[in-house]
């Protein structure tokens, strides 16, 4: 008879830590909350796994046990989510198993679309933005560099249209910085006359970047 293969352990970004102490009598009477301990309790619950068995009610109970509610509670679950995404992004790839885990984690934490979008912008977009900054550091983006960015966007499951917007914004920022430096490093303008009626004068500059200006 063939030997039965053992199931693979669940992909998890969490490691179980020490169990936090529950709130004492006076802490409850004085309505003192312990968000750090609530987060540790949630992390421990998730580390025990599997995440598919963790219910939203269990997460809510961990928050209540430490007097955490309202806005602070949402900050705690967002922090837990952020820790998971950050851990999975460490190798610049979100695998299928990691994506499935995050889907279950979102369900358990009860993250709204708005909370998910905010976390994605803070973590995933920022990671891609750093890569863009590194690639266009010399103000040039060749085909190989662009392919690296496309591969990274796909690996971290960043929609292509979002990746394109981040790249465009980075290039526009580089252009603005280059234009500012060009003006600052150019020959300074003469000072305004002493009897000039205004404290400053506006000027309009036409800036040509990596291109020849038109001849008059």
Cis peptide leading into 203, omega within 30 of 0? no
For residue 29 the two structure tokens come to: 């009477």
Burial 63-84 (b: 16+ CB within 10 A, else e): beebbbeeeebbebbbebbebb
Q: Give 110's contacts (C-beta < 8 A, 6+ positions apart).
A: 56, 59, 60, 77
For residue 4 the two structure tokens come to: 């039965």
Residue 102: inside a domain:
yes
User: Structurally, how many domains does the chain consist of?
Assistant: 2
Residue the block writes with tokens 């266009």: 136
How many Å apart are CA 59 and CA 78, to the nearest integer?
12
Tell me: do 179 and 152 sit in the same domain: yes
Tell me: do 67 and 141 sit in the same domain: no
Q: Give 69's contacts (C-beta < 8 A, 6+ positions apart).
A: 33, 63
Tell me: do 103 and 165 sit in the same domain: no
Tell me: do 71 and 149 sit in the same domain: no
**pLDDT confidence of residue 7:** 53
Residue 212: inside a domain:
no
Burial 174-194 (b: 16+ CB within 10 A, else e): beeeeeeeeeeeeeeeeeeee
For residue 204 the two structure tokens come to: 């309009």
Give the Cα-Cα-Cα angle 118, 156, 103 (nearest 5 degrees): 65
Tell me: do 65 and 131 sit in the same domain: no
Tell me: do 23 and 93 sit in the same domain: yes
- The Cβ-side half-sphere exposure at 209, using a 13 Å CA radius, reads 16
**pLDDT confidence of residue 134:** 86
The pTM of the full predicted model, rounded to 2 decimals, is: 0.74
Range of the domain at 33: 10-111
**pLDDT confidence of residue 55:** 96
Residue 161: inside a domain:
yes
Tell me: do 62 and 25 sit in the same domain: yes
Residue 192: inside a domain:
no
**pLDDT confidence of residue 173:** 84
**pLDDT confidence of residue 187:** 66
Tell me: do 107 and 138 sit in the same domain: no
Tell me: do 121 and 106 sit in the same domain: no
- Mean pLDDT per segment of 10 residues, for the chain of length 216 residues? 51 90 58 85 94 96 93 96 95 94 96 93 92 79 88 93 91 80 74 88 74 72
Residue 18: inside a domain:
yes
**pLDDT confidence of residue 27:** 56
Tell me the pLDDT tens digit for each residue of 52-103: 999 999 999 999 999 999 999 999 999 999 999 999 999 999 999 999 999 9
């Amino acid at each position: 008879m063939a030997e039965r293969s053992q199931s693979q352990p669940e992909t998890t970004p969490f490691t179980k830590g020490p169990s936090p102490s529950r709130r004492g009598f006076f802490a409850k009477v004085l309505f003192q909350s312990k968000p750090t301990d609530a987060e540790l309790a949630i992390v421990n619950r998730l580390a025990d796994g599997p995440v598919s068995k963790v219910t939203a009610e269990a997460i809510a109970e961990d928050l209540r046990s430490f007097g955490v509610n309202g806005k602070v509670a949402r900050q705690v679950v967002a922090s837990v989510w952020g820790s998971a995404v950050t851990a999975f992004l460490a190798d610049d790839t979100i695998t299928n198993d990691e994506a499935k885990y995050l889907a279950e984690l979102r369900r358990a934490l009860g993250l709204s679309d708005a909370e998910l979008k905010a976390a994605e912008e803070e973590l995933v977009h920022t990671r891609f933005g750093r890569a863009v900054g590194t690639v266009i550091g010399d103000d040039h983006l060749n085909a190989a560099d662009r392919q690296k960015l496309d591969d990274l966007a796909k690996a971290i499951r960043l929609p292509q249209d979002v990746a394109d917007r981040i790249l465009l914004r980075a290039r526009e920022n580089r252009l603005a910085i280059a234009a500012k430096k060009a003006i600052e490093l150019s020959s300074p303008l003469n000072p305004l006359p002493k009897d000039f009626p205004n404290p400053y004068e506006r000027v309009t500059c036409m800036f040509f970047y990596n291109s020849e200006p038109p001849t008059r």
